[in-house]
């Protein structure tokens, strides 16, 4: 069993919608910091923090741990038989 799958390199509508929603929250002052990992074309990765997530690295690590748990759950769900 191959744990990896090929990822398309076309425009991801859900990614664009999510980024637009996050931008709207940030412009209203509701989103005060992010910790992110992004997949770019060519399968390169960029990671960083901004705002309060940068100023509060312990809190940001907790956010990333929650993200890791969420992704692990997605992996588990995808491999249920």
Average pLDDT for the chain: 91
The structural domain count of the chain equals: 1
What's the pLDDT at 77?
Answer: 82
More confident residue, 34 or 80: 34
pLDDT score of 52? 98
CA torsion sign for 32, 66, 20, 43 is: positive
CA triplet 65, 12, 29: central angle to 5 degrees? 55
59 domain-assigned: yes
Q: What is the pTM of this model?
A: 0.77
If 0-12 CB within 10 Å is exposed, 13-18 middle and 19+ buried, where does residue 35 land? buried
Eight-state DSSP code of residue 28: T
Q: How far apart are CA 26 and CA 22, in angstroms?
A: 6
Q: In this structure, is residue 69 part of a structural domain?
A: yes
The pLDDT value given to residue 60: 98
Q: Could you tell me the pLDDT band of residue 78, with boundaries at 50, 70 and 90? A: confident
Q: Which domain holds residue 49?
A: 33-81
């Amino acid at each position: 069993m191959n744990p990896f799958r090929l990822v398309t390199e076309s425009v991801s509508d859900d990614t664009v919608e999510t980024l637009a929603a996050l931008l709207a929250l940030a412009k209203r002052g509701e989103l005060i910091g992010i910790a992110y990992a992004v997949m770019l074309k060519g399968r390169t990765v960029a990671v960083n923090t901004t705002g309060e997530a940068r100023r509060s690295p312990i809190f940001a690590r907790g956010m990333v741990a929650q993200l890791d748990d969420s992704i692990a759950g997605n992996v588990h769900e995808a491999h249920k038989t």
